[in-house]
Structure 1
Amino acid sequence: MSTKHVWLAGATALILTSHTFAAAGNATQGDTTKDSPGVIIVEEDWFFPLRFDSITALNNARYHYRRNEEKAAANEVDKAISWLKYAEGHAMPVTKEKLTSAAEDLESVSKDLRAGNTIAAAHMDWSLARASHALAEWHYYKAKEHYGNNEAHYAAQHLESAVSHLQNAADSAHFEYGPDTVTVFDDVFKDGVLFSEDQTVDHNRLGKHLDTIKSAIEKVGEALNKS
C-alpha cells in the first residue's frame, strides 16, 4: 500500500493550514506534532473521501465573490491554497512550479479580498482556473504513477479528481471541451464509482483515459495562457 499521507484532526477533518502540510513530509504514520496536538497522519485511503474538497473550496470562493462576500470568499480561497500547498509538497518537478505559482497568485487574491480591494471578475476567474488546472495536472501524474504500479483503484480515483478540476478550470476559463473528451470524462466518473463499489476496471481502459486526460490538460492550459 502506498504511504502518501494527509493530516486529519481527530482522524475526521483535514487541517487546512500550510504549516500542517509542510510538516507532513517529515512525519510518519501515527505521529503528532507539538505545534498541532491531536493531529495525526493517516494513509492515502483516507485522502480519497476528501479529494473533492479543493473543488468545493474553489467553487465556494467564486460563489461568495459573486455575492460580494469578500471575507467568506477569502476563507474559501485560503482552503484552496492549503490544498495547493499539500499537492506541492507531494509533487514531481514537472508540476511543482505550477502549484507554487497558483498558490502564490491565490494568496494575493485572498489578501485583496480581505483588504476590500477591487478584483476584476476576469482575474478572479483566471486565478481559480489556474489553481484547478494545476491540481488537475497533479492528480493526473499521481494517477499515472499508480497506474504504473498496477494500483488501478488509486489511479481511477486520481483521474476522477483530475477530471473534476479540468471541468472546473474550463468553466472558469470559459473553455469548452469537444464531445469525445466529454464522453471520456463521463467514463472516468463511472470508473470511480465502480471502484468505490469494489468492482474492477480494465487496465487498458485506464491507460486510454490517461492519454485523453493528458490532452485535455494541455488544451485548457493553452486556453489559460491566451487569456
Structure 2
Amino acid sequence: MTETSALRAADFWEARYRDGGRLWSGRPNALLVREAGELPPGTALDLGCGEGADAVWLASRGWRVTGVDISRTALERAARHATEAGVEERTAWERHVLGESFPEGSFDLVNVQYLQSPVALDRRRVLRQAADAVTAGGTLLIVMHAGWPSWQSEPPFEARFPTRSDVLDELALPQPQWTVQTLDTVRSASVSPDGVEGHRDDHVWRIRRADG
C-alpha cells in the first residue's frame, strides 16, 4: 500500500463512520460467537474492530482485548461501548492503517472479521501479520464474505471475493505448526435496506497454532 492509497483508505473509512452515524448493530458477529465461545479467555486482538462489538463481547467473557481500526471515530465509539458495558479496563484501542502499521505483541486469539474493503488493502500482508501475532497454542479466526447478498442485483463496486483456498494460500502456514480446525461456508439470512429478504454466504477459517 502506497502512502497515497493509505491516506485514501483512511479518508474513506473515517468519512463513512463520521458522516453515516452508527453503522453496526452493537452485537458481536455470530461466527465469532460460534467459533470462540468455548475458548478459554486470554489475550485477544480484534483487527478492523469498527465500533467494538466483538471486542466488547470478548471482554465481557474475560478476555483482555486490543481493538484496532483505521477510523478514529469508530474507535471513539468502541471505547464508549466498552465503558457502557463496564469492560473498559479489559479493552484497549489502537489506530492502525493495516498494511502500513500493526500492533505489537502476541495474542491467544486474533480475530479478523470481514477485513474486506472497497479501497486499497494489502490483505495478504495483513493476514500474514495476523498469523505472526498468534502466540503458541493460540487461534487465528478469519471470517469473510464469499459474495454479494442474494438480493444485490447491481453490486455497488467491482470486487473479487476470496475462496477458502485463496486465504489458505495467502497465509502459507507451515505444517504441522498450524492445524485448520474449521474450514466452512455458512449461509445466513440477509435483508436489504429496502426490506428484501435473502441470504449471504460467509467463509470461516479457524486455525490453531501448535503449543511450544
Give the alignment's TM-score, normalised by structure 1. Answer: 0.26
Structure with greater helix share of residues: 1
Structure with greater strand share of residues: 2
Structure of larger gyration radius: 1
More relative contact order, 1 or 2 (CA 8 Å, 6+ apart): 2
